[in-house]
Structure 1
Amino acid sequence: MQTPDSSPSEPRACPGPQPSQRSATRFTVPRGAVDTHAHVIGLPSDYPFVAGRSYTPPEATAASYLSMLDATGMTYGVLTQVSVHGTDNRLLVDALTANRQRLRGIAVIGLDCPEKEKAALKEAGVVGLRLNVLYGGGMGFAQLEDYASLCREMGWHLQFLIDAKDIPALASRFAKLPVPFLVDHMGHFPTSRGINDPGFDALVGLVRDGAWVRLSGAYRTSIQGGPPYSDTIPFAQKLVAANPDRCIWGSDWPHVANWDVMMGVSDLLDLLAEWVPDETTRNRILTNNPQKLFGFPAV
């Protein structure tokens, strides 16, 4: 387990999400919809922050997340272990255990994680592991194949938080993985690089060949500084065109490591209407696709 931060100077604090949420205004969220990416965050007195983290977030409780799901019309949610808690998955497990029918989880663990802890994670509802090279507190790609073997053993998949510029150097290793894998936030790179960026082209190729991709994090890739993030539209549409059956959507609540604009989930859902204008395809991205990947029952 990674150790708590004992440094007297803390990384920059980031704001919390909008206190009130509403659903999309551009379309009706379908029954069975899945928000595939969010975080719960504890207070350091009980859930210490790791040394070397990239930001200091406020508390984000499971109750607040469930309220957001209710307000936006989402049936299910997926909680991803937040980087500031490192490999201390206790809060994640507590949230999953209390909401077994509605939530699934993505954990962050070391390869030396005890068998008993891995079994407890799976029992709680963890269905995958995340490797993160962009924010302090995450696990990198040095032991990618070992993590893939662990996931195959556990019946899990892998998720990658990576800048698309680094994908070409890793693409051959990704292609040989024995488990499903997902690239987060559409490759997490600025739209100023252009739709023909080599890294983004490599991501499109992976998706075309069967990799999963999360349509999310528009405010992380847009260079507009605020909604409606229209410069992200051609990137999302290119990914959907490559393989609509491998695209899913996530709110990224509570929007950590973001200091520019405090957006609402409704803004991001409305943008999805621009990313995926076709209702049938959009509904598949919100329901069938994530239900399959995360093991939720169809509604």
Structure 2
Amino acid sequence: MSPNNSAPLCQAPCIDVRSPLTKFPAGAVDCHAHVCGPATQFPYAQERIYTPPDATLEKYQTLLKMLGVDRAVLVQPSVYGTDNRAMLAVLKSNPQQFRGVAVLSSDPNEVGDQELADLHAAGVRGLRCNIVDIADKSAGLPIEQLRNLAKRIQPFGWHLELLMHVNEYPNLAKTFEDFPVDLVFGHFGYTHAKHGVNDKGFQGLLDLMKNQHAWVKMTGPYRICDGNLPYVDMRPFSDAVINANPGRLIWGSDWPHVMVKKQMPHDADLCDLLGEWVHDENLINSILVNNPCILYDFPAFNKPNGLNP
């Protein structure tokens, strides 16, 4: 596949070696990261809208060691479309350390049972659906399409991860009240801080959490607020999701922070930001260890096995 030279190159993540002041518990999971490249081995999709710098497994392992994070969930980035090979290669390299969230065709008839079974065996535990980039939003959410896809993955115990701006859907809670599988919302529901925590869509997300229908990733605060660290506008959103249901919260670095057009955050500072938002040791343990193990079906953690080199 020939490169798309019109897709702009992203800002690279910080490479300074600096560990966070906040010490994460053993078995901590980074629940949202991407591995991109090497492009020479895993070429990016022609129709992509950005070009990431190579963010390889080796670079990510170095980051995990620096942060004191033992395990991770890799989410299929949009630059690969439905070609999950780069992510699957990482999952197969260390099945105990990694889980994955794949992207497949939105047409459930194009997804075979054997393909789903193979993905499950490789460590995939969910599918990601990009609602943000739907060309025509006048018809609203493609709810029946999502429901049919959910029914296909339900036997595997998977979830659907939705990349969507929840503020655009004021009836969110009603729409998903009887959905067949759990839902996961990235970036606090991806609603900009300017809309506030009383926005109907965000309140609907909180209702879904309270009713055990949704999980929220405490990720990407720099994507949904103005200004740089410590992203003060995001504190009310952090408090709101914690109060709604702390048993439905997970955290992720969002490395390598693709398409960040403001000051690139250092991952150690993002770890420390979670430490500023959450002081209770038991709650930190739930967000970083217990909750991810439930959602992503990680095996029991055993540090001596060398999961984090």
Q: TM-score of the superposition, structure 2-length normalised?
A: 0.88
Match of residue 244, structure 2, among 238, 242, 245: 242
Is residue 93 of structure 2 the alignment partner of residue 93 of structure 1?
Answer: no
Q: Which structure 2 residues correspond to residues 163-202 of structure 1 after superposition, within 5 A?
A: 163-202=165-204
CA-CA distance at 1:190 after TM superposition: 1.5
CA-CA distance at 1:155 after TM superposition: 2.5
Q: Which structure 2 residues correspond to residues 69-218 of structure 1 after superposition, within 5 A?
A: 69-110=64-105, 111=108, 112-135=110-133, 141=142, 143-210=145-212, 211-218=214-221
CA-CA distance at 1:135 after TM superposition: 4.7
The residue number in structure 2 matching 1:256 is 258
RMSD after superposition: 2.0
Aligned amino acid, residue 86 of structure 1:
G
Note if contact 2:103-2:128 (Cα within 8 Å) is conserved in structure 1: yes
Distance 1:78 1:255, change over 3 A: same
Note if contact 2:172-2:201 (Cα within 8 Å) is conserved in structure 1: no
The residue number in structure 1 matching 2:37 is 42
Note if contact 2:173-2:207 (Cα within 8 Å) is conserved in structure 1: no
The residue number in structure 1 matching 2:288 is 286
Of the structure 1 ranges 203-212 and 72-81, higher mean CA displacement relative to structure 2 is found in 203-212
Note if contact 2:230-2:273 (Cα within 8 Å) is conserved in structure 1: yes
Q: Which structure 2 residues correspond to residues 19-58 of structure 1 after superposition, within 5 A?
A: 19-25=15-21, 27-58=22-53
How far apart are the structure 2 equivalents of 1:259 and 1:136? 22
CA-CA distance at 1:93 after TM superposition: 0.7
Q: TM-score of the superposition, structure 1-length normalised?
A: 0.91
Note if contact 1:72-1:266 (Cα within 8 Å) is conserved in structure 2: yes
The residue number in structure 2 matching 1:17 is 13
SS where residue 176 of structure 2 aligns? helix
How far apart are the structure 2 equivalents of 1:183 and 1:28? 26
Aligned amino acid, residue 187 of structure 2:
H
SS where residue 228 of structure 1 aligns? coil
Note if contact 1:107-1:128 (Cα within 8 Å) is conserved in structure 2: yes
Of the structure 1 ranges 163-172 and 252-261, higher mean CA displacement relative to structure 2 is found in 163-172
Identity %: 41
Is residue 226 of structure 2 the alignment partner of residue 223 of structure 1?
Answer: yes
Q: Which runs of 5+ in 1 are unaligned?
A: none
